[in-house]
Amino acid sequence: MEKKKSGFSIRPVYDNEYETAMGLAWKTFLRFEAEDYTPQGVKSFEEFITNQTLKKLYDTGQYPIFVAVSEGELIGMISLRCRTHISLLFVDERYHYLGVGRSLIEYVCTYISEQLGEFKVTVNASPYAVGFYHRLGFTDMGPEQLSDGVRYTPMSLIL
C-alpha cells in the first residue's frame, strides 16, 4: 500500500532501507530530543534502535516500518510494535512543518484500522513531540514518566 502526497509518498520500508531508516531516527533524535534525556536515556535509545532483536522482529513482520520518500530519499519514518503502538516517528529536519509527520500518522492509523481491524493507537510521546500529538487528537493517558533515562508521556487516539 503506497500513498502519494504532495512532494512525497508513504509506503512500507524496503529491506535494504532498514539501516537508513534507523539512521534517520538516530540523527533526528540527537538533533531534537537528546537534550531532554539523561545520558542513560540517550544510550537506551541508541541501544534500542541498534538492537538485533528489533531487526529480527522487523524481519519476521512483527515490527512494521513505513517511510516517507521524496525523490528517492527517506525523509521520514514511523514504526509500530505490539500492532498498535507507535514505536518510532522521525522526520528529517529539512521536512519539518510540511505535513510529513501528520501524513505518517494518518497512514498508520489507516493501516491499523483497515488492515488490522483495531481502533486505538498508542504512543509514548517524547517531550519534544507532545504538542504535535495533541494537535492530532491524541490524549494523555497519564503524567510524564521516566524509564531508563527516557522521558515520555503515554498517549492514545481512538480511531
Render pLDDT for 103-140 as a digit per residue (tens, 0 to 9).
999 999 999 999 999 999 999 999 999 999 999 999 99
- Give the C-alpha separation, 130 to 127, whole Å: 6
The model's confidence at residue 2, banded by pLDDT at 50, 70 and 90, is: low
Domain that holds residue 55: 3-158
CATH number, domain of 118, equals: 3.40.630.30
Render pLDDT for 47-65 as a digit per residue (tens, 0 to 9).
999 999 999 999 999 999 9
For the cut 90, the answer to whether the pLDDT of residue 36 exceeds it is no
DSSP 88-130: EEEE-GGGTTTTHHHHHHHHHHHIIIIIT---EEEEEE-GGGH
> How many domains does the structure of the chain reveal?
1
